[in-house]
Amino acid sequence: MTDCELKAARLQRALGYEFADKALLELALTHRSAGNRNNERLEFLGDSIVNHIIAETLYHKFPSASEGDMSRMRAALVKGDTLAEVARELELGEHLILGAGERKSGGRRRTSILADALEAVTGAILLDSNVETCRGCVLNWFVGRLDTLSLGGADKDAKTSLQEFLQGHGKPLPEYELLGVQGDDHSQQFRVVCRLTKPALTVEGSGSSRRKAEQAAARTALERLNPDEK
């Protein structure tokens, strides 16, 4: 067995699935930076199936949960940061096929690329097998996270809480703007500003991703709202 075949076999063991059509797996691992034949269409398919599997699982796991609770739990599980964490656990990054520029700039560790690749691999498994097999793989990847979920822990994130508060009081929604990114690719810090017009308030937040920086800014905005405004 060649090194390439050994590497593919190791990945498939980690995924818990052996491909009948190895070309599908290769396509799922091919980033758009590597050429026109890439994983974007598989990513589109995988995004839908991951959302469906997680939503269906939450529906059965939490029979008394409201739509809002299930939506928040699903969002936490299928957000880019979580998908990238799962991809890292599967060591997907070392198997990615990237263009020269992405390889040099740390593309194998990039959260967005890893998240997209996990969705593409999910789409590839679906096409190579069937819905039930694909569901089994996805649930196996997420089992630890699903087991630690509780209905009481389905708290709203700061951005959702801020948005719902403003909507409930008939006020304009907040605006977020990226101020800058500092640091190397593997240790980037994002700075974001959150602006409210009514009440007038401008705060900043930072984090290791744009989403985390926006959440930090929203949290600060909530903390600074006067009690009578809340």
Side chain identity at 130, as an amino acid letter?
N
Side chain identity at 45, as an amino acid letter?
L
Q: What are the percentages of helix, strand and coil residues in the chain, rounded to 5?
A: 65, 10, 25
116 labeled part of a ligand binding site: yes
Tokens in use for 66? 């409201």
Helix (H) or strand (E) holding 74: helix 67-78
**Distance of alpha carbon 89 from alpha carbon 97, whole angstroms:** 18
Q: Match 């590597």 to its residue by tokens.
A: 34
Catalytic residue, from 102, 119, 128, 214: name it: 119
43 labeled part of a ligand binding site: yes
Helix (H) or strand (E) holding 162: helix 158-168
**Distance of alpha carbon 25 from alpha carbon 121, whole angstroms:** 7
Residue 119 a catalytic site member: yes
Catalytic residue, from 47, 69, 128, 214: name it: 47
Burial 210-225 (b: 16+ CB within 10 A, else e): bbbbbbbbbbbbbeee
Side chain identity at 98, as an amino acid letter?
L
Sign of CA dihedral 206, 43, 153, 137: negative
**Distance of alpha carbon 149 from alpha carbon 158, whole angstroms:** 19
Q: Match 């089994």 to its residue by tokens.
A: 136
Q: Which residues are catalytic?
A: 47, 119
Known binding site for Mg(2+): residues?
A: 43, 116, 119
